[in-house]
A and B are shown apart, each in its own frame.
Chain A
């Protein structure tokens, strides 16, 4: 199994677990939550079969899981955890803490509607509402991309000293199965040597983490984070390109699909990209000039990459599988702010499509393009049901 690549039929969550297995984290504190649990279960299965060597911790809550991640990471361990929705929200306090302490933790979050009311459906509000915590955020479209991203995320985190949160949609990706190329252990070991962290808890040094500080030092810590954030987009590209050399699968902060001569480009994240891809192909068959801009890296928001990617495109149609009450779709807001002040900006339509896991079909997407490509954008968020 370990000396060559293997094709396996895997769900998104099991693909994540395979990525974790190959990345060899030292410590993995995990807490169950639907629809993340298959990640935890698979890692546990690997552990009990003696196939991975990670220290598994099963605390009483996600808050303690992420706290244990922080302790382990700051002691120099490679650390992984996984969660979803309520679990991520319970972690909120410590998400800020982890980023502030520059702990290179990798987390996989399965995007699910937050309560209330209770729901288990794909919606990205759980992670998008954590956008200001200082975590790098990436959104994946397929089980293959989830596996590849886990491995790349460890390098990204350890080089940047920022925690990385990967996200895929509940069920559409987490539980959907597809053929996944699982790389060999040797290839991953070569790709992912452990990077020794400069600052760790060390009994030979009396240095502390997180002690109370003055205003200027807190301020400077955020400027340091800003400098690290500024490097992320380039790192995602260079790490993705290294991965491409080994696997033939390239990854960037964004992916432009059939956008070259497009009059309308649909902008979205996560599983919806797959549906849009199909809709684009179908519309192209009919001669409709449409493309897809997939946002893979959401934090830091790749504003400059986006400005370049949409240059000369007249219409953008943003599909947000999330809703920020009182404002609208979060990707829509971020995109507009990235485009503010550019010369000859595109028209940007913001559509709340798929909020709460509502299915958005290829037919629906075609209808949306047909309807919105010739009208002025609304200043208010538009609900699509």
Chain B
């Protein structure tokens, strides 16, 4: 992964309806400007669909197809195949989905597209829940987090989508963050030039859904990385793991304290979460060294 000389080319218009302070809009701006004009977006219902805009407006300079919640990867496959028949194989087909549309209802179609290695760039804005419908749990919601449908804290772990995707042996999987925009732009640029299925998961601290202060989403996103809760990685061909920001220098405590969804945690629960993060980090190190 090489850092790029990022330029804003006006691919994302102002006037969109993201919540004030939302870092999904920030990430989207960098993604769209890195992908450029030779692209078609496929957008299932999500916060992203709202940010992309309602008729007759669009905050995207590229065309967008708003599809159904579970069908982003399948719809995008169709778009790409049509482009191939028209002699436009280089046009990027860009899915802009949420975690509900990716980890949950859209996983079947995504798995199938990955199995066929369809030439699409699939971005998952992972705010760890159904935040656009008012904040219910998804299978991406982490252990103990309070949502509208887990009022005492979620009893099960966050689904490990990276490992699921890696098992498909697709050419490129990455995690990235609106707190590390250089990393984000570099990964999008790299993915753009790879043929086959590429999936980029962007952790989006949700102001309303996580209970984060309006001016604190970037900081929270950085703490997720610095504490090792959300390591920034690349997985190539499902086998080769790289940590692109190899720093884990913060206890989880500081990350949790930014968020109301963890306000109810006991000391034991915090310790357990810390243990989980430490073990996951160790496992990741082993994967990285296995390359």
Chain A residues within CB distance 8 Å of chain B:
26-27, 29, 55, 57-61, 63-65, 67-77, 79, 93-94, 97, 201-203, 205-214, 217
Contact = CB atoms under 8 A, between A and B. Distances in A.
Contacts of A209: 63-66
Given A64-B74, A94-B71, A213-B54, 7 more contacts: A55-B81, A71-B78, A72-B78, A75-B40, A79-B78, A97-B67, A212-B66
Contact of A67 (B38, B62, B67): B67
A59 B81 contact: no
B78 A210 contact: no
B265 interface: no
Nearest to A26: B85
B49 interface: yes
Interface string B75-92: 111111111111000010
B63 A71 contact: no
B14 to A, nearest CB: 15
22 contacts: A27-B81, A29-B77, A29-B78, A59-B109, A60-B109, A60-B112, A70-B78, A75-B78, A75-B79, A79-B78, A203-B62, A203-B63, A206-B58, A208-B66, A209-B64, A209-B66, A211-B53, A211-B58, A211-B64, A212-B50, A212-B55, A213-B54
Contacts of A63: 70-71, 74, 109
A35 to B, nearest CB: 24
B85 A55 contact: yes
B37 interface: yes
B36 to A, nearest CB: 10
Closest 4 A-B residue pairs measured CB to CB?
Answer: A71-B78, A68-B78, A64-B74, A75-B82
Contacts of A203: 37-40, 62-63, 91
B35 to A, nearest CB: 11
B108 interface: yes
A257 to B, nearest CB: 41
B77 A71 contact: yes
A210 B56 CA distance: 10
Nearest to A101: B65
A191 to B, nearest CB: 21
A69 B76 CA distance: 10
B52 interface: yes
Contacts of B111: 60
Interface in B168-200: none
Interface string B152-177: 00000000000000000000000000
A79 B75 CA distance: 13
Contacts of A94: 68, 71
A213 B55 contact: yes
B221 interface: no
A68 B74 contact: yes
B52 to A, nearest CB: 7
A78 B2 CA distance: 40
Contacts of A206: 58, 60-63
A71 B58 contact: no
B71 A77 contact: no
Contacts of A77: 78, 81-82, 85-86
Contacts of B80: 71
Contact of B83 (A75, A207, A211): A75
B64 A68 contact: no
Residue from the set A58, A60, A93, A203 with the largest chain B CB neighbour count within 10 Å? A203
A71 B42 contact: yes
B75 A71 contact: yes
Contacts of A57: 77-78, 81, 116
B29 to A, nearest CB: 15
Contacts of A76: 82, 86
A94 B113 CA distance: 18
A156 B190 CA distance: 44
B122 to A, nearest CB: 13
A70 B67 CA distance: 9
B78 A69 contact: yes
A212 B40 CA distance: 18
